[in-house]
Amino acid sequence: MKLWVGLGNPGPEHAGNRHNIGFMAVDRIAADHGFGPWRKAFHGLVAEGRLGAGRMLLLKPLTFMNLSGQSVRAAVDYYRLPVEAITVFHDELDLAPGKCRFKRGGGHAGHNGLRSIHAHVGPDYARVRLGIGHPGRKELVVPYVLHDFGKADRDWLDPLLEGVSDGATALAEGDEARFLSMVALRVHPPRPPRAQQETAGAHEPGARQNGRGGNGRPAN
């Protein structure tokens, strides 16, 4: 079994916060891949399912961000999981909005959820870092992460979450490169070939064809 943890804060007042993108990611995976219903366990909410051939437990700690490690530790102890079986999905200030990176081990970079997990299970778990951008000044960080995503953010947020879900099976199978490629394809889909664009443009209303304008008169 593998344990995937989405970080966030509980309660409807926090549901749309930038800090809750980890919750959003595991919610999307659960919905798209037919996981069982969310239920209370381990000081959080859990959903069970399979990705590929592997059994998976999704966890959303309800301890608030700063105490996330308590929930993770409870699940780890119950299932006797090694730290290598844990992957944490979290918001990342140091990545531009829509960027996604995979990392195993290392420091917590001041992220309070990761800091708590470090304290309870050590640093050797994997992380999926979901970029939300930085407000520019340190004193603005707390209100920024505790503020809801704006309407304009949906242009990159929805494709990012779709990509995370698309690549979930690859990630579960240990193919991190394929996972990141699938995310990138959603966030930055390839443009059609130029010839295809020109062909499509030629059939748009008002397009000039055979030397005439869209009104049938000779083009100037």
Residue 110 pLDDT? 86
pLDDT of residue 200: 55
Calculate mean pLDDT across residues 78-82: 97
209 pLDDT band, cuts 50/70/90, is very low
**19 classed as catalytic:** yes
Averaged pLDDT, 51-74: 96
Determine the average pLDDT of the residues in 147-176.
96
Q: Per-residue pLDDT averaged across 167-173, rounded?
A: 97
Domains annotated for the chain, with CATH where assigned, are 2-187 (3.40.50.1470)
Ramachandran angles phi, psi of 120, nearest 5°: -100, -30
Query: In the predicted model, what is the mean pLDDT of the chain?
Result: 90
Give the per-residue pLDDT at 196: 59
Per-residue b/e over 103-127, b at no fewer than 16 CB within 10 Å? eeeeebeebbbbbbbbebbeeebbb
Residue 93's pLDDT is: 95
Identify the pLDDT of residue 192: 78
Global pTM value: 0.86
Contacts of 189 (CB under 8 A, 6+ apart): none
Whether 180 shows a pLDDT value over 60: the answer reads yes
Residue from 14, 19, 118, 188 carrying the catalytic annotation: 19
| Mean pLDDT, residues 97-105 taken together | 96
Convert the pLDDT of each residue in 30-43 to its tens digit.
999 999 999 999 99
Q: How many Å apart are CA 17 and CA 65, to the nearest integer?
A: 12
- 153 or 109, higher pLDDT: 153
Q: CA-to-CA distance for 166 and 183, rounded, in angstroms?
A: 7
pLDDT score recorded for residue 193? 74
Q: Hey, CA dihedral for 86, 90, 93, 96, is it positive or negative?
A: positive
